[in-house]
Amino acid sequence: MPSDLWSFTLKTYARPGVEKACLDLQGAGANVCLLLCAAWLGARGVACDPQRLQQLRALGQPWHDEVVRPLRQLRTQWRPAAANDPELASLRERVKALELEAERQLLVRLEALAGEWPGDEAQDLMSWLEGLAAEAANLNRDALQALRVAVTDA
């Protein structure tokens, strides 16, 4: 298992079913970067507690809401028009790259916060996932389970 969160995220996202699960969770309102951080912490055996959950939310949610989400909304909004406008399609791809970089920066920040929390203390993967998915309005439990399985089987 990769030790840094970005490498873990790339490896996990490439596993079968994870991309779809993440897109389903994102569609339900979940912050996928927080969920991937939760998966990373759970895989490392970091103990989950309310204070740690709150620290991650306090760091991750504002960046997601103020940086990642507006870029995603712009990219999504431009999709229909970009299909027939090569210049707009090019701009849309650059917005997509900015969105990915914003997510990477969020993961770097989350790792800086949580990277030193001791591991090998607990089997709290579902506690992490459920604790950081709680804000999703229409949480897809199957998608959350798919993410858990992907991490557990890694």
Residue-wise pLDDT for 92-126, tens only, equals: 999 999 999 999 999 999 999 999 999 999 899 99
What percent of the chain is helix, strand and coil (3-state, nearest 5)?
A: 75, 0, 25
Q: What mean pLDDT comes out for the span 4-9?
A: 94
Q: How confident is the model at residue 151 (pLDDT cuts 50, 70, 90)?
A: confident
* CA 27 to chain centroid: 12
Range 43-62 average pLDDT: 96
| Token pair recorded at residue 99 | 């969105």
| Mean pLDDT for the stretch of residues 18-44 | 92
Q: Where do the domains of the chain lie?
A: 5-152
Pinpoint the alpha helices (H) of 17-85.
Answer: 18-27, 32-44, 50-63, 69-82
Collapsed DSSP state (helix, strand, coil) of residue 122:
coil
Cα atoms found within 13 Å of the Cα of residue 52, Cβ hemisphere only: 22
How many residues appear in the chain?
Answer: 154
Residue 137 is predicted with a pLDDT of 62
